[in-house]
Chain A
Amino acid sequence: MADLTLDLPRRTATTDFVAFARGRPGFLFGLAVVALSVLLAVFGPLIGPYPTETALPGQPLQPPSWRHPMGTDVSNMDILSRVIAAPRIDLTIALVSTAIAFVVGVLLGVVSGFFGGGRGVPRLMSEGIMRGADIIQAFPVFIFALALVGFRGPGTENVVAALAFLNVPYFLRITRGAVLQVRERPFVEAQRCAGNSELRIAFVHVMPNALTPPLANLSPTIGFSILLTSGLSFVGAGVPVPTPEWGSMIAIGASNMMTGQWWTALFPGLVLGLTILGYALVGDGLKEYLDPVNKR
C-alpha cells in the first residue's frame, strides 16, 4: 500500500506572520522604520561621524556635501550626526509616556468597562472615570500639552508627564470598548459560577482578552507622541536646545529656510515624518493582523 503522508509546510505563529507581512509593502516599510529607530535610539549618538552638541570649526551653514551629507546648521553642527542621534531623546519620551498611558489607561478602562452599568460604588467609579476622560479631551490636544508643560516648566520629564496624561483617555476608551464586549461572553459567566470574585474576573480573565485593541494602538500612539514632542520642542517648550531633537533642529533651521538654506530644516523634518509614518503603518498592519476577520 502506498504511503499516504502529506508533506504540508508547518504552520507556526512565525510563518503566519511572515506570510501576512510579505504581501504588504507598507507594513514591511513600517517595521523597518520601527526597527531602525530603536537601533538608532540605542546606538545613534555613538555612530554619527561628528559630535552632536558641539560646533565644528570653519564656515557655518555648509550645503550638503560628501563630508556633510545633510549639511551643517547655523552654529556649524553636522546635521546628519544630529538627525541620527535624535531618536534617543524623541523615542525615549514617546516610549515612556506611551507606556505609562497604556498601563494607566488599560487599568482604568477595565474598571470602567467591567463595572459600568452596574450599581453602587463601582458604577460611580466607572462613571467618574469616563467623565474625567471627557474633561481631559475637552481641550485641543496641542494647546493642553503646551499648557501642561507651561505650568510645570519646560524639560524632558514634564513633556513625558504631559504626553502620558493626554494619552490616558485614548487607551481608556479603546480598552473599555473591548471590555464591554468581552464581559458578555459565556466564559465570564462560567468564571462567576466557579466562584471567582468580580475583581479577579475583571483583571485575570477579562483584561487579557481585551488587550488586543489597545496593543494594536501602541504603535500609532508612539508616532503621535513623537510628533507632539517635536512640536513642543519646536516652540521651545520641550527638549532644551543643544540636545539633538528633530523638532528643535527644525526650529534652529527655521530662519535659514527663509534665506535659502533649505537643508537645515528639510532633513530633520523628513526623517521625523518618515518615522511617524512608519509607526502609523505598523499600527495599521497590526490592527489587520490581530483582527481574525481580516486575517487571510
Chain B
Amino acid sequence: MRLLKYVARRLLVLPVQLLIVSLIVFVLVRQMPGDPTFLYTGPFATTDRVAEVRRQLGLDEPLHVQYVRYLDRIAHGDFGLSMRTSQPVVADIRQRLPGTMELILYSVVLSVAIGVPLGVYTAIRDKGILNRLVFLYGMTAGALPDFWFALIAIFLFFYTLDWLPGPMGRLDLMLAKPADITGLYTIDSLLTGNWAALASASAQLALPVLTLVFIYMSLVLKNTRSAMEDMLRSDFVLYARAAGLSRMMQWRYALRNAMPPVITVTGILTWFLLGGAVLVETVFAWGGLGQYAVQSVVNSDYAALQAVVLLSAVFTMAVFLVVDLAYFVIDPRIK
C-alpha cells in the first residue's frame, strides 16, 4: 500500500520535472546562433518568402506562445524533421534506440555480474595478489578515456589477433537484419532461431561491451567493496560473530545490508553508460542514439539534438525511479 502511494507520488512529480526539463531544452535551442528560418529557405530567398516561412514555423509569435506550441507538438509525439536524414526525428530515434539499449543492457548486466562478486571477495579477503590487482584496476580504469580504450581493443582483437570483427556497426553487412520484435538483435535472432545473425550480432557486441564494462565496472566494484567493508565492520556483524554464527552467515547478513548502495551505483552506472555510449558508439559506428547525438551536434541538426537531450533526461528520471523502487523492495526499513 505504502509502495503504491510512493509510486503515485513519484509519478506525480515526473510531469513537473519533465516540464522544467523541456523548458530548459527550449531555452537552449533559442540560444543557438543564427536564424533557423534560413535553414529552410536557403540564403537567397526573398524577404517575403522568409517572412512566410517564419510564420509557418511560428517564429513570429512571442516566446511563451512558441513554448506552448512546442509542448503541444511534443505531447503529440512530433519532434520535427531531422535536417540531416530528412526523416521525422521520432522515426530516426525509434530506429536507433534499440542499438543503444542493447549496448547498455549487456554492459550493466556484465558489470554487476562481475563487479559485485569481485567487490565482495576483495572486501572479505584483504590480502593476496587478486586483491592488489583489483585495487590497481579500480584506480586506473576510471581514469582511462573510453574512446581510447575502444581503439586499443580494436587494434588488439581485430587488427592484430583477428578474433573479433571490426568496428562496422551492429551486424555483419552481408547479413539481413533479424525480424524486428524487440529491436535488440541478439534477442530477436534468438527468438526467431536465426543463428547466423545471433553469432554476428554477439561478435559485434563483444568489443564495445568489453570497453564499457572495463571502464565503468570499477564504479560497481569499488562501491560494493566499500559498502561490504563498512558492513563487515559494523556492530551487528560483530554481534553475529560474538553470538557464534558461522563466517558464511556473517557474510550473508553483511551482503544483504550492503545491497542498497550497490543498487544506487547500478542506477548511476546505467545513467553514466548512456553518456559513455556516445563516444564508444562513435568509435564502433554503432548507429545508435549516441552516434545520432554526435552527428546532430556536428551537423547542427537542432530538432534531432533537442529530442535526444529530452529523451536522455527522461531516461535518467526513469532509471532513478527504478532505483528508488528497488530500494523499497529490498530494504524493509524504508517502509
Q: List residues of chain A with CB under 8 Å of any chain B CB.
A: 26, 135, 138-144, 146-153, 223, 227, 230-231, 234-237, 247, 250, 253-254, 257-260, 262, 265-266, 268-269, 272-274, 276-277, 280-281
Q: List, in ascending order, chain B residues with CB within 8 A of A223's CB.
A: 143
| Bound form: Cα–Cα A144–B160 in Å | 36
Also in contact, A247 and B275, with CB within 8 A (given A139-B312, A140-B312, A143-B308): no
Whole-angstrom distance between the Cβ of B28 and the nearest chain A Cβ = 5
9 interchain pairs (CB within 8 A)? A138-B313, A143-B312, A146-B278, A234-B279, A235-B294, A237-B297, A257-B151, A262-B155, A269-B151
Whole-angstrom distance between the Cβ of B114 and the nearest chain A Cβ = 21
Q: Write the B141-179 contact mask toward A (1 if CB under 8 angstroms, else 0).
A: 011110111011011001110000011000000000000
Question: Within 8 Å of chain A (Cβ to Cβ): is B115?
Answer: no
Cβ B145 vs Cβ A247 within 8 A = yes
Question: Within 8 Å of chain A (Cβ to Cβ): is B31?
Answer: yes
Whole-angstrom distance between the Cβ of A140 and the nearest chain B Cβ = 4
Q: List, in ascending order, chain A residues with CB within 8 A of B276's CB.
A: 142
Cβ B148 vs Cβ A250 within 8 A = yes
Contact of B32 among A140, A144, A152, A276 (CB under 8 A): A152
Q: List, in ascending order, chain A residues with CB within 8 A of B271's CB.
A: 140
- The chain A residue sitting closest to B298, CB to CB, is A236
List the count of A-B residue pairs having beta carbons below 8 Å apart: 143
Q: List, in ascending order, chain B residues with CB within 8 A of A153's CB.
A: 32-33
- The chain A residue sitting closest to B34, CB to CB, is A153
Which 7 residue pairs are nearest across A and B when measured between Cβ atoms? A269-B148, A142-B275, A150-B297, A277-B143, A140-B275, A276-B143, A257-B151
Q: List, in ascending order, chain A residues with CB within 8 A of B282's CB.
A: 234-235
| Bound form: Cα–Cα A259–B142 in Å | 28
Q: List, in ascending order, chain A residues with CB within 8 A of B68's CB.
A: none
| Bound form: Cα–Cα A139–B140 in Å | 26
Cβ B154 vs Cβ A257 within 8 A = yes
- The chain B residue sitting closest to A246, CB to CB, is B145
Within 8 A of A (CB), among B3-52: 17, 20-21, 24, 28-29, 31-33
Q: List, in ascending order, chain B residues with CB within 8 A of A258's CB.
A: 154-155, 158-159, 166-167
| Bound form: Cα–Cα A223–B139 in Å | 14
- The chain A residue sitting closest to B319, CB to CB, is A140
Question: Within 8 Å of chain A (Cβ to Cβ): is B239?
Answer: no
Cβ A149 vs Cβ B316 within 8 A = no
Cβ B28 vs Cβ A148 within 8 A = yes
Most buried by B among A141, A143, A153, A268: A143
Whole-angstrom distance between the Cβ of A132 and the nearest chain B Cβ = 9
Q: List residues of chain B with CB under 8 Å of any chain A CB.
A: 17, 20-21, 24, 28-29, 31-33, 139-140, 142-145, 147-149, 151-152, 154-155, 158-160, 166-167, 271-272, 274-276, 278-279, 282-283, 290, 293-294, 296-298, 300, 302, 305, 308-309, 312-313, 315-317
Q: List, in ascending order, chain A residues with CB within 8 A of B309's CB.
A: 139, 143-144, 147
Cβ B148 vs Cβ A273 within 8 A = yes
Also in contact, A152 and B159, with CB within 8 A (given A26-B139, A231-B145): no
- The chain B residue sitting closest to A137, CB to CB, is B316
Whole-angstrom distance between the Cβ of A106 and the nearest chain B Cβ = 23
| Bound form: Cα–Cα A231–B279 in Å | 7
Contact of A135 among B20, B142, B160 (CB under 8 A): B20
| Bound form: Cα–Cα A247–B151 in Å | 12
- The chain A residue sitting closest to B29, CB to CB, is A151
Cβ B279 vs Cβ A273 within 8 A = no
Known: A151-B32, A272-B145, A273-B148. 14 other contacts (CB 8 A): A26-B139, A143-B278, A143-B309, A150-B300, A150-B305, A152-B31, A235-B297, A250-B145, A250-B147, A257-B154, A266-B152, A266-B155, A269-B144, A277-B143
Contact of B145 among A149, A237, A273 (CB under 8 A): A273
Most buried by B among A153, A235, A262: A235
Q: List, in ascending order, chain B residues with CB within 8 A of A237's CB.
A: 294, 297-298
| Bound form: Cα–Cα A150–B145 in Å | 21
Whole-angstrom distance between the Cβ of A165 and the nearest chain B Cβ = 11
Q: List, in ascending order, chain B residues with CB within 8 A of A146's CB.
A: 278, 293-294, 297
Whole-angstrom distance between the Cβ of A200 and the nearest chain B Cβ = 34
| Bound form: Cα–Cα A268–B313 in Å | 32
| Bound form: Cα–Cα A155–B225 in Å | 41
- The chain B residue sitting closest to A149, CB to CB, is B297
Contact of B143 among A135, A257, A280 (CB under 8 A): A280
Cβ A265 vs Cβ B151 within 8 A = yes
Whole-angstrom distance between the Cβ of A185 and the nearest chain B Cβ = 27
Whole-angstrom distance between the Cβ of B14 and the nearest chain A Cβ = 11
| Bound form: Cα–Cα A142–B277 in Å | 10
Q: List, in ascending order, chain A residues with CB within 8 A of B143's CB.
A: 223, 227, 273-274, 276-277, 280
Cβ B139 vs Cβ A277 within 8 A = yes
Also in contact, A143 and B144, with CB within 8 A (given A151-B29, A237-B298): no
Q: List, in ascending order, chain B residues with CB within 8 A of A259's CB.
A: 159
| Bound form: Cα–Cα A144–B147 in Å | 18
| Bound form: Cα–Cα A280–B309 in Å | 29
Whole-angstrom distance between the Cβ of B269 and the nearest chain A Cβ = 12
